[in-house]
Amino acid sequence: SQLEKGGYPHFMLKEIYEQPKTLLDCIRGRINVEGNNIVLSGVIDNRDKFVRASRIIIVACGTSWHAALIGEYLIEDWCRIPVEVEYASEFRYRNPVIHADDVVIAISQSGETADTLAAVELAKSKGAFIYGICNVIGSSIARATHSGSYIHVGPEIGVASTKAFTGQVTVLSMLALTIAKEKGSIPHKKYEEKVQALKNIPALLTEVLKQSDKIKELSKIFTYAHNFIYLGRGYNYPAALEGALKLKEISYIHAEGYPAAEMKHGPIALIDTEMPVVVIATADRIYEKTISNIQEIKARKGKIIAIVTEGDTVVKDIADVCIEVPKTIEEFEPIVSSIPLQLLAYFIAVNKGRDVDQPRNLAKSVTVE
């Protein structure tokens, strides 16, 4: 009903706008306000399982699988534990190697996805320790796992996942920092910097939401495109995949997410004057490399929509349109950069008159194979 949407025309828009608050709810009670310390009890209670894990396998589907990819980067970066990310549907049927000293993390907003639940049961039967990252309290996956952390972002109604994605990445960040601290794989000063940066994320999201009107305006230019490419590198590569998925799901425009440097091995052939290319080009370690990818697109006359860090001048000179996001540490860039991509997909779908909250052929939770 209109009342439940809190004055927003769609649940999806409401849920996009809720993110500063939902991420605060997600970190509340886990990061103490005065100090810079994270207490993620599910991880602390199972400290040895994580610290001694020879490997972590993350299983998920859809948007949760994109969050899992960011989790891989975070855990390998900070904890130095090898991580594998698997589509639950592939994992369950491909006779995977699972050891008793593996930790398997299952990520699921609904906690009811049939393939993810089956992957959990399989890993459990092999003796692995199973950790759940769910939103819905008491859901099947939450109950089937040995331990876990809820993302606590509140009910997500829109079929296209938004606040659950940023909540999942936030929990994965807290999980990775907790393990890293327990393992001693991160210097204490660095740990505190990361925690401080995470605490600042809700405020940064409030900032980035102020770009909404601008994104609404520019969405009009791209409403009639038939294809889109989304590119990012490093931590922003999964954010590019997620941006493309959002557009596909609700506008029914074909979109492909790709690692920016991998573009030259295929998708570059698609680029012409008709092709909008969304590039996440924030000022991180790999910024210069991303700029050369942008130049490759420009040389082929693609239309460039760039997500840039506030104050950027270099990309602004090359791109057709720029959306600014506030600076954060590289590891949290995908949280911040995914907001404008959610808004872009939303406004394009609205312009096309799509059923944003209930797109055709899709279900909020896929409880059958």
- Catalytically active residues are 364
Would you say 309 and 324 are in contact if contact means Cβ atoms under 8 Å apart?
Answer: yes
Identify which range of 43-51, 157-165, 264-272, 340-348 contacts ligand G6P by CB under 6 A: 157-165
Q: Which of 114, 261, 321, 366 binds ligand G6P (CB under 6 A)?
A: 366
Q: H/E/C letters for each residue in the chain?
A: CCCCCCCCCCHHHHHHHCHHHHHHHHHCCCECCCCCCECCHHHHCCHHHHHCCCEEEEEECHHHHHHHHHHHHHHHHHHCCCEEEEEHHHHCCCCCCCCCCEEEEEEECCCCCHHHHHHHHHHHHCCCEEEEEECCCCCHHHHHCCEEEECCCCCCCCCCCCHHHHHHHHHHHHHHHHHHHHHCCCCHHHHHHHHHHHHHHHHHHHHHHCCHHHHHHHHHHHCCCCEEEEEECCCHHHHHHHHHHHHHHHHCCEEEEEEHHHHHHCHHHHCCCCCEEEEEECCCCCHHHHHHHHHHHHHCCCEEEEEEECCCCHHHHHCCEEEEECCCCHHHHHHHHHHHHHHHHHHHHHHCCCCCCCCCCCCCCCCCC
Query: CB 108 → ligand G6P: shortest distance, Å?
Result: 3
Q: Is 140 near ligand G6P (CB under 6 A)?
A: no
Q: Is 159 near ligand G6P (CB under 6 A)?
A: yes
Query: CB 62 → ligand G6P: shortest distance, Å?
Result: 3
Task: Give the nearer residue to ligand G6P in terms of CB position, either 63 or 290.
Answer: 63
Task: Give the nearer residue to ligand G6P in terms of CB position, either 61 or 244.
Answer: 61
Q: Which of 140, 161, 166, 309 binds ligand G6P (CB under 6 A)?
A: 161
Task: Give the nearer residue to ligand G6P in terms of CB position, either 136 or 325.
Answer: 136
Q: Is 61 near ligand G6P (CB under 6 A)?
A: yes
Q: Is 166 near ligand G6P (CB under 6 A)?
A: no
Q: Is 19 near ligand G6P (CB under 6 A)?
A: no
Pattern of binders to ligand G6P over 64-103, x per CB under 6 A? x---------------------------------------
Q: Which of 20, 42, 62, 238 binds ligand G6P (CB under 6 A)?
A: 62
Number of neighbours of residue 37 by Cβ within 10 angstroms: 14
Q: Which of 22, 113, 178, 290 binds ligand G6P (CB under 6 A)?
A: 113
Identify which range of 92-100, 154-162, 171-179, 201-209 contacts ligand G6P by CB under 6 A: 154-162
Identify which range of 62-70, 144-152, 206-214, 288-296 contacts ligand G6P by CB under 6 A: 62-70
Query: CB 48 → ligand G6P: shortest distance, Å?
Result: 28
Interface residues with ligand G6P (CB under 6 A)?
61-64, 108-110, 113, 116, 159-161, 362, 364-366
